[in-house]
Amino acid sequence: MATPYDVIIIGTGAGGGTLARHLAPSGKRILLLERGDWLPRELENWDGEAVFVQNRYISPDTWYDKEAKAFQPQVHYCVGGATKLYGAALYRQRKEDFGELRHHDGISPAWPISYDEMEPYYTKAEQMYQVHGARGEDTTEPPYSAPYPFPALSHEPRIQQLSDDLEKAGYHPFHSPNGIMLNEQNRPFSTCIRCATCDGFPCLVHAKSDAEVMGVRPALEYSNVTLLTNAKVIKLNTNASGTSVTEVVVEHPNGLANGSDQVGRNYMFHNSVAVLAVSKEPNPTQFQKTLGLNDFYFGMEGFEYPMGNIQMVGKSQASMYKGEKPIETKLAPMFALRDIAHHAVDFWLSTEDLPDPNNRVTVDKEGKVTLIYTPNNQVAQQKLYDKLKSMLNHLGMHPDHLIHRTAYMKSFIPVAGVAHQAGTCRFGKDPKTSALDVNCKAHELDNLYVVDTSFYPSISAMNPALTAIANALRVGDHLLERLK
Ligand SMILES: Cc1cc2nc3c(=O)[nH]c(=O)nc-3n(C[C@H](O)[C@H](O)[C@H](O)COP(=O)(O)OP(=O)(O)OC[C@H]3O[C@@H](n4cnc5c(N)ncnc54)[C@H](O)[C@@H]3O)c2cc1C
Ligand code: SF4
C-alpha cells in the first residue's frame, strides 16, 4: 500500500485503540488497520449460552500446542480487540513489579523503566478509561499522584458480607478498580445498568470502558483518522537494509526486528484459575467483580515468594455449567445444579508466570501458529489456591468446595485461555536481549513501534490492560515529539 499516512496503527485493542485516540488531535494522518470487524450490537452480546458455550465472538483460528495438537485460542478479532470482552478490572502493576522479584521458580526480571516513570501515564490511563476505585484500601497499592476519577463501585450485599468476613478474619479486602460507566448517584442517567453479563461479555449498551468506546470511536471524530476493518496485516516491507518499514506487506528472512532472537519468545499469560465456592447463603449478586485481595501478593508466613492476586470474576450462570451429576456432586452434594448458580461465589486467582525463552509462538511459512508453553511457578499458584480454600469456613462458604473452572464450565481448555497473553516482543535497553528499545521502537528499525502487551518483559500478577493503556500513552507522547 502506498502510504499517504504519517502513522499506521495495526490493531485497535488496548494498545492500538488508545494510541490512536492519543495521536488523533495532532492532525497527523493516521490509518488504523484492524483484522476484525465492528463487534455486532445484538441481543446475543448478553446471552451466556451464545457467548460462553457457542463462543460466538471468539475467532475460529486454529493454533497448535507443543504436541502439535490443534486448539481454538480464545482470541477476539474486532474493533477494540480483547477489551470488548474483558472484565475491565483496571489495575496498576505494583511498584515492586517494575524491579527484579525473586519467585519460587526463579526471577521475574526488572522492566527497563521504573514505576515512577510510568505513574503519570497510569493516572492518565485511569482518567481516559474512567476508572472507579478507592485509594488507600489495598495494602500493596503503589504511590499515586491523583485520586481515581470516579468513586468505587459499591459491593452488592453478598460481596459486602464477604468483605466484612475477610476483614473480621484480619485480611485487607479492597474495592477493585473497574472501568464501567456506572453512576450510582444518578441511576436514571447512568450509561451502565449494572448487569450480570459483563466480565467475558461485550457490553450491549457501550457502557464498558473498552478500547472501541474510549479509543477508536473518539479518534474517528477527527478527520485525519481513518479506520479500515477486515484489514489483516500479514507482512511488513522494509527498505533494502531492513531498518525502516516502507510498506505494510512484505516478508523478511529471519523475521522482522529479530536480531535478538527474542521475537516470539517469553510468552506469558498468567497462572490463572477461576474457581467457584458455594455460599451457605444465596448469592444473588449481579455485578460481582467489585472486590480484590492482595494480602498474599508478595507471599505469606511460611512461603516467602510472591503468590499473586485474588479477585472476583463475573458471576457464573447455570447455562455455563456442565449439567452432569458428578459435577453437581463435586460442587455441593446437597444442592441441585440449578441451585448452585444461585449460591456460587466465583473467584479469579492470578499468579505470575515467569518469562522463559522456550515458551514461544512460532509461525511457519504456511502461517500455522504454534504455541509452545510449559507452565512454571505452579507451586506459588497452588499455595494461593490452598490458602483461599482454607479460608472458606470463615467466609460463609461450604468448606472444601473450591472447584476449578475446568470442572464446572462447559467449554474450557486451559492452554486456550490466552486472555492475558503478553511477552514475545520484550522491551529493554540491550538489543541483544530485547526486540524493542525503551520507547517500544524496534531496536533495528527506525519506524516500527509495538504497544500491545507483547512489550512486557515480565507480567506481574495484576491484570494487564491498564499497563498496556498507560504504555500506549507513554509511547504516544514520544511519537508526538518525534512527529513535530
Ligand atoms: C474475557 C477476557 C477478560 C479479560 N479481563 C480483563 C480484566 O478484567 N482486566 C484486564 O486488565 N485485562 C483483562 N483481559 C485482558 C485484556 O483484554 C488484554 O490484556 C488487552 O486487551 C490486551 O491489549 P492488546 O492491545 O495487547 O491486544 P488486544 O486488545 O487483543 O488488541 C489486538 C488487536 O489487534 C488486532 N489484530 C491482531 N492481528 C492483526 C493483524 N495481523 N492485522 C490487523 N489487526 C490485527 C486484533 O483484532 C485486535 O483488535 C481480559 C481478556 C479477556 C479475553
Ligand atoms: S451495562 Fe454495565 S455491567 Fe452491564 S455489561 Fe455494560 S458495563 Fe458491564
Query: Rounded to the nearest whole angstrom, what is the distance from the C-alpha of residue 244 to the centroid of ligand 1?
Result: 26
Give the start-to-end residue ranges of the domains of the chain: 7-483
Query: Rounded to the nearest whole angstrom, what is the distance from the C-alpha of residue 81 to the centroid of ligand 1?
Result: 5
- In this prediction, residue 400 carries a pLDDT of 77
**Residue whose CB lies within 8 A of the most ligand 1 atoms, among 420, 450, 467, for a mutation test:** 420
Minimum mean pLDDT range among 118-122, 247-251, 300-304, 402-406: 247-251
pLDDT tens digits, residue range 407-418?
Answer: 776 655 554 578
Query: Rounded to the nearest whole angstrom, what is the distance from the C-alpha of residue 446 to the centroid of ligand 2?
Result: 41
Residues in contact with ligand 1 by the CB-under-6-Å rule are: 10-16, 33-36, 77, 81-83, 85-90, 200, 232-233, 419-420, 452-453, 463-466, 468
Minimum mean pLDDT range among 253-267, 295-309, 380-394: 253-267
SS (H, E, C) the chain: CCCCCCEEEECCCHHHHHHHHHHHHHCCCEEEECCCECCCCCHHHHCHHHHHHCCCCCCCCCEECCCCCEECCCCCCECCHHHHCCCCECCCCCHHHHCCEEECCEEECCCCCCHHHHHHHHHHHHHHCCCEECCCCCCCCCCCCCCCCEECCCCCHHHHHHHHHHHHCCCCEEECCECECCCCCCHHHCCCCCCCCCCCCCCCCCCECCHHHHHHHHHHCCCCEEEECCCCCCCCEECCCCCCEEECCCCCCCCCCCCCCCCCCCCECCEEEEEEEEECCCCCCCCCCCEEECCCCCCECCECCCCCEEEECCCCCHHHECCCHHHHHHHCCCCCHHHHHHHEEEEEEEECCCCCCCCEEEECCCCCEEEECCCCCHHHHHHHHHHHHHHHHHHCEEEEEEEEHHHHECCCCHHHCCCCCECCCCECCCCCCCCECCCCEECCCCCCECCCHHHCCCCCCCCCHHHHHHHHHHHHHHHHHHHC
- In this prediction, residue 253 carries a pLDDT of 45
Instruction: Give residue 250's pLDDT band: very low, low, confident or very high (50, 70, 90).
Output: very low
Highest mean pLDDT among 316-325, 341-350, 452-461: 452-461
Give the fold, CATH level 3, of 7-483: FAD/NAD(P)-binding domain (3.50.50)
pLDDT tens digits, residue range 282-338?
Answer: 999 999 999 999 999 999 999 999 999 999 999 888 877 776 666 666 776 667 777
When pLDDT is averaged across residues 176-188 and rounded to a whole number, the result is 97
When pLDDT is averaged across residues 236-243 and rounded to a whole number, the result is 86
- In this prediction, residue 251 carries a pLDDT of 44
Query: Rounded to the nearest whole angstrom, what is the distance from the C-alpha of residue 417 to the centroid of ligand 1?
Result: 12
Instruction: Give residue 241's pLDDT band: very low, low, confident or very high (50, 70, 90).
Output: confident
When pLDDT is averaged across residues 143-152 and rounded to a whole number, the result is 98
- In this prediction, residue 235 carries a pLDDT of 82
